[in-house]
Chains A and B, each alone.
Chain A
C-alpha cells in the first residue's frame, strides 16, 4: 500500500523547500526521502529544470525496489512529471511504457495523457495490441496485463482519432471500469453523446466503486447533461463535488467565463454543488 498523498501534504507538505526536495531526490542513501521528494515536486508543481532532470533520472532508478519487484520511485516520478506540464519529458515517459512494472506503465500512461503531446499516441496504442482477447488478468495480481484504463483515457485526452477502431471493442470488455474508460475516450474522440449516456446509466449501478468511477469519468470529460444525475447518485459528497467541478469548469471555459457572465446552466450546477457542501 502506498502512502496517501493527502495525508503527507497535511502532515509535512509545507516543510520542504524546493532546493531541499531536489537535493533529496538526487541523493541515493535514503530511499524514503527520494520517494517523498518526487511526490512533493509534483504536488507543488515545481517545474524548474533541475527538478525535471532529477525526475527524469528517477524514471530509470534501480535502487528503490518493491517486494513485488516494482519500482516505486519510478511510479512517483512519472506521476509528478504528468503534473509539471513540460513536454520535453515525453520521450522518457514513452520509454516507461515498456517497463516490467505495471504501475510504472500506468503512471506513465496517465502522465502522457495529462501532458497532451501526440508523440505518445503510437506507443500508447501499442499497449492495446491484441485487443480485448489479450486484455486478460495477470494471475495472482489485482490488475490486467496492461493499464487499459489509463491508456484509453490518455488516447481520449490526446485526441487520437485514428485510434477509435482500436478503442471501440473495449466497450465490451468484461471489466466495467474498462468499458467506462472506453466510453469516455470515444466521447472525447467522436463527440457522440450516446457514449456518455452509458456512463450516466452507470450512476445507478448497485456497486459503489462503479458509480464512483463513472462519476469521475463524467466529471473529467465535463459532460454537462450529467450534472443532475451526478448530484443525485449515492456516493460521497466530496467526490460528487470534484465531478461537478469538472462539469462546471468545462462549461465555464466553453462559455467564455470570466469575460462572459454566468450562464443559466452554470448557475444550475453551482446550485447543485452548494447542496453538497
Chain B
C-alpha cells in the first residue's frame, strides 16, 4: 500500500470513528423500518456499525430479529452495538435469542450468549449452564460463566430457585478450579461472587463456595485469577 493510499484510508477511518461516536443520536425521528433498511443497505463495515447503533438506540422490540441477525455478520463493532441493544431490551429479547441461538456459527453464538448473560433472565439458565460446562470456544464459556453470576433469581419460585442455584454453584466451582483457560476461571470466580451476593436464603451453600474461592486464591497458577478470587473473598467478607 502506498503512503498516500494509507493516508487516505486513515482519514476515512477517522471520519468513520467520529460518525460512530455521534451516531447513536442521529437516528432520532426515523422509523424502525427505516433504521432496519439502513442496516440492510450499509455499504461498509463502519456504516454498518453506525446503523446498528442507531437501531439499538431506538430501544424498540421490533428491532430484535434484526439485531440478532447482526450478531452473525462477523463485524465486532456492529455485534457489540447489537448486544448492548438486546441487553437493554432485556426480558423481551430472551425468547428470540434462545430460539435463534445458532449452534454452528461460534461467533454469533458467543455474542448471543453475551446478550443473555447481560440480561440475566432465568429462562437462559440451561443454555448458560451447558455452555459454561463445555462449549468449544473459550470466549463463549467465559461469557456464560459471568452470566451465571448475573441471574435475576427473584423471577423464580423458591423451590425451583434452590435447585437451580445448586446447579449453578456446581458448574461455576468446577469451572473456577478446572477450566484450562485462565479467563474462564476468572469469569467463573466473578460469577461465584455474583451468585453469593444474589443468594436469598442465608448461608445455604456458602461454605463450598468460599472454599472454592480460597482454593483458587492460593492455588491457581495465574496471578490475575488469584487476584480476582481475593477480591471476591473480600467482597463477601464485608
Contacts and interface: CB of A to CB of B under 8 A. Distances in A.
Contacts of A238: 138-139, 183
Contact of A206 (B16, B142, B190, B218): B16
B231 A206 contact: no
A126 to B, nearest CB: 29
A172 interface: no
Interface in B1-48: 3, 9-10, 12-14, 16-17
A232 to B, nearest CB: 12
Interface in A236-277: 236-238, 241-242, 245, 248-249, 252-253, 257-258, 261-262, 266-267, 270, 273-274, 277
Contacts of A248: 223-224, 227
Contacts of B109: none
Interface string B153-188: 000000000000000000000000000001100110
B46 to A, nearest CB: 9
Given A206-B14, A237-B139, A252 B223 contact: yes
Given A252-B223, A270-B228, A277-B142, A245 B182 contact: yes
A10 interface: yes
Contact of A273 (B9, B13, B136, B224): B224
Contact of B218 (A241, A258, A273): A258
A249 B223 contact: yes
Contacts of A252: 223-224, 227
Q: Kindly state the interface size class of chain A when it binds its partner.
A: 20 to 34
A167 B230 CA distance: 40
Contact of B230 (A204, A206, A249, A258): A258
Interface in B203-238: 217-218, 222-224, 226-228, 230-231, 234
B107 to A, nearest CB: 11
B76 interface: yes
A206 B223 contact: no
Given A206-B17, A258-B217, A277-B187, A174 B3 contact: yes
A15 interface: no
